[in-house]
Structure 1
Amino acid sequence: MISKVLFLTAVGLSSLHSAKSQSTPSICDNSTLLIDSRRVLTTAQECTTVAGDIVIQYASDYPATMEFPNLESVDGSFLSINFDEDIRVTRLSAPKLTTVRADVYISRWVNLTTINMPVLTTINRVRLNNLPSLTSANFLSTLETIENNYEVTNTSLKEIKNDKLPFAVFVEIFDNKELEKLELTALTNASYNVALRRNKPGVEVSLPALKEVFFFEFQRISSLEIPELERAIGHFVVNDSTVETLEAPKLRDVGIWYDPSSSITNNRGLLIQNSGNLKSLSFPALEAVQLDLVIRNNSELEDISFPMLKRVTGNVGLEGTFESVRFPELDRVGGVFSLGNDEAGFNCADLQGFKNNGTIRGAFSCPQYQELPTRSGTKADSKKEIEDWLNWSSSGTGFESFRSTNAFVFAIFASTAIWFV
């Protein structure tokens, strides 16, 4: 009898110890877990799950390494955006964290060199900005699911790689002074944009699975791999780069009708300019460019050929020392066609033929370049322009389906919705 009592007592004590070891501080259940001192940090380090947001504010007594050793999931955001410049923290670590239901947003930790979250796979949005000392953020490679944005701005990262992430709304990589390579090898769709601006000159970009994007804009790149891209619904821009070859073998369509309520369109369709090393341009499947087609200030580019291009809704602007310009299937240019060529003896006769037979609706200039006209910013004028184009283009052979498609696009934009095909 005594032995049985002792056994039950031992079991009870063991269960009590187990329950105690699995208990977590009450702050883990707060809608906002505000960390503003080393004391609170020490308590928060016991959390396995946080019910709301983790918000980290400045404190003078933080350790150099801020670690959350037990944290596995956050039902809100993991964020800090207001640190002073003398914050001690150089390393932020959550080695077991797998899920953040909302955002990972870290900004203005000027001494932070490392973010260690090696098993984080699921978040709503990542925003890293104003982290000038950051050289390592391993979770950028482990992410598998993002509902919104993938933004990295003003860091010292040399590479950004991910082979697991198929979708993001925004991919914005700006002002990273040490960046040499961007590889998002699983990214298939970016429903708003993929954009690189003001990074270290010469970034190598690989997007081998990307099929569709809304706005596509690259600056200061040395290479671009987009073998599967079929559609840039908004615009396609490469500017101020050292890329020697630019190929988009499956790209069929670029652009939407100009929408005056969306200033980001900015009259752009397909724009390639200010890239002095560019020698080869290949868009063998491109059939349609809404808005403008502009190729300017690429001093090494001698040949321009768009073998399948049938229509440009806006203007065509070409300027350089081209030896040949070929548009064998061109049937409609809704605006002006302006070509400036400093190459002696360049023959404009074939291009003049497009104006003579009615393919070019607006003015024609060759070999002297005339600046392209800008569009009105009013909805009424935009509607008139669209209607005029539809009426004009429908008079040509084979444009009936194009007319109905663009009427649909205009109807969608009139109701302020976003068009996806």
Structure 2
Amino acid sequence: MLSNILFLTAVGLSSFRPAQSQSTPSICDNSTLLIDSRRVLITAQECTTVAGNIVIQYASDYPAIIEFPNLESVDGSFLSINFDEDIRVTRLSAPKLTTVAADVYISRWVNLTTINMPVLTTINRVRLNHLPALTSANFLSALETIENNYEVTNTSLKEIKNDKLLYAAFVEIFDNKELEKFELTALANASYNIALRRNKPGVEVSLPALEEVFYFEFQRISSLEIPELGRVIGHFVVNDSTVESLEAPKLQNVGLWYDPSISITNNRGLLIQNSGSLKSFSFPALEAVQLDLVIRNNSELHDISFPMLKRVTGNVGLEGTFESVRFPELDRVGGIFSLGNDEAGFNCADLQGFNTNGTIRGSFSCPDYQELPTRSSSQGESKKEIEDWLNWTSPGTGFESSRSISAVVFAIGISGVLLVL
């Protein structure tokens, strides 16, 4: 009997000790786990789950590698704030972290080269900002669910790729001096914007599943893959790029909505400009453009064709050395039509039909370019201006497709759909 009692006691003690060793420190249950010293960091490294936010502040005694070896989930945000530029940390690692309920926001770690979070799949928002030495952030590829922003600014990443993420509100990729490729191959919808600005010249962009986006703006790109894009609710802009061709085979509408609270010049319509390598573009399904349609300063572009375009709400501005421009279905231009053409012998006669049949609401200029009018910055005035355009109906009959191939046609029109969000 005594031996049995001793055996059971030993078993009880053995089972008790591991449970005791698995207990987590109380700071893991804080609404904010503030890490501001190496001592606090060592304690926090025992956490498996953090009930609130992890906030890392500057400390002079941090090691070169900050690792959270046991961390699996954060019920709040994972943040860094108020870092001095001499922070020595070069690597941030959480190899078991799968979920951050709110934001991952890492900023101003100027020596950080690596963020290692290979199984992080679910967050609300990611913001990587002012991390000029960063060359690896594997969680950007692992993310499967994100409710808000996907922002990467001022890093040394060469590639940003993800084949799992279906949705993001904002996708903003700015000032990444080494970036060569940007691929979100599963992304189908961006409810606000997708924008690349001031990155390394020549970024290759692939968005093969994208169907709808609000604002769409690309700068310094060398290629753009958007085979499924059907609607751009705000504007579509390609600027200052080395892309040789643009194809949007399913794009039907640019601009179904405007926001009078935004300076109206930011609601820009369809703009393709300052891209000296561009030789061709194809928008075979495009029917309507709200606000302006502008194609300027693309020195290698000689042929323009919008075979299905019926309406442009604002102004049309074309300037270049065009040999042919074709808009066979054009019915309505809500603003002015301005065509500047340096091609010798170009004939504007056929375009006069738009002016005489009432297709163009405003003035007509060809072959000398007339600068497009500046819209009012007043919210009330800009709102009235757009609504006037929306309600205006052309008495014209459109531009026939049988016109000369050398004729240049430009116009503005808009769909009658106005979405007020």
Indicate the TM-score class for this superposition, using the shorter chain for normalisation.
over 0.9
1:155 matched residue in structure 2 = 155
Structure 1: distance between partners of 2:52 and 2:239: 42
Q: Is the 8 A contact 2:260 2:380 kept in 1?
A: no
Query: Which residue matches 2:253?
Result: 253
Tell me the TM-score normalized by structure 2: 0.94
Q: Secondary structure at the match of 1:16?
A: helix
Q: Is there any run of 5+ residues in structure 1 with no aligned partner, and where?
A: 413-417
Q: Is the 8 A contact 2:339 2:367 kept in 1?
A: yes
1:4 Cα offset (Å)? 1.5
Match of 1:76 in 2: 76
Determine helix, strand or coil for the equivalent of 2:179. Answer: coil
Cα pair distance change 1:80/1:387, threshold 3 Å: closer
2:58 counterpart of 1:31: no
Alignment of 1:293-308 (within 5 A): 293-308=293-308
Relative distance call for 1:161 and 1:171 in structure 2 (3 A) is same
Contact 2:358 2:395 survives alignment (8 Å): no
Q: Equivalents in 1 of 2:38, 2:104: separation in Å?
A: 21
- Higher fraction of helix: 1
**Structural mapping, 1:205-284, within 5 Å:** 205-263=205-263, 266-284=266-284
Aligned-partner Cα distance in 1 for 2:188–2:84: 39
Deviates more, 1:114-123 or 1:262-271: 262-271
Cα offset, 1:403, TM superposition? 9.5
Displacement of 1:266: 2.0
Q: Would you say how many aligned residue pairs link Structure 1 and Structure 2?
A: 407
Q: 1:241 to 1:254 in 2, by over 3 A?
A: same
Letter paired with 2:369:
Y
Partner of 1:197: 197
Query: Alpha-carbon deviations, 1:160-211, whole Å to 9, x = none?
Result: 0000000000000000000000000000000000000000000000000000
Distance in 2 of aligned mates of 1:384 and 1:298: 33
Are 2:349 and 1:349 aligned? yes
Which residue of the partner structure matches residue 338 of structure 1? 338
Greater CA drift, 120-129 or 7-16: 7-16
- Partners of 2:313 and 2:414 within 8 A in 1: no
Within a 5 Å distance, the mapping from 1:171-190 to structure 2 comes to: 171-190=171-190
Q: Report the residue type matching 2:385 in the other structure.
A: E
1:316-331 equivalences in 2 (<5 Å) = 316-331=316-331
How far, CA to CA, are the matches of 1:356 and 1:264 in structure 2? Answer: 29
| AA in 1 matched with 2:225 | E
Contact 2:153–2:176, Cα closer than 8 Å, also in 1: yes
Deviation for aligned residue 1:313: 0.3
- Report if the CA contact (8 A) 1:258-1:265 is conserved: no
Instruction: Give the unaligned 5+ runs of structure 2.
Output: 399-412
Give secondary structure in 2 for the equivalent of 1:299: coil
Superposed CA offset, 1:223-254 (max 9, x none):
00000000110000000000000110000000
User: What percentage of aligned pairs have identical amino acids?
Assistant: 87
Distance (Å, rounded) in 1 between the aligned partners of 2:351 and 2:75? 61
| Counterpart contact for 1:179–1:203, Cα < 8 Å | yes
Please, what is the CA RMSD of the aligned residues? 1.7
> Any idea what the Cα deviations from partners look like across 1:32-51, whole Å, max 9, x if unmatched?
11111111111000000000
Q: Deviations over 1:326-361 (max 9, x none)?
A: 100000000000000000011112221111111111
Q: Secondary structure of the equivalent of 1:164?
A: coil
Deviation at 1:81, TM superposition (A): 2.4
Quick check: 261-270 or 170-179, which moved more? 261-270
Q: Whole-Å Cα distance in 1 between the matches of residues 190 and 387 of structure 2? A: 30
Secondary structure of the corresponding residue to residue 63 of structure 2? coil
SS of the residue aligned with 1:234?
A: coil
Higher relative contact order (CA 8 A, sep 6+): 2
Change (3 A) 1:22 1:252: same
CA 1:187–1:391: 2 relative to 1, 3 Å: closer
Tell me if structure 1 keeps the 8 A contact 2:358–2:394. no
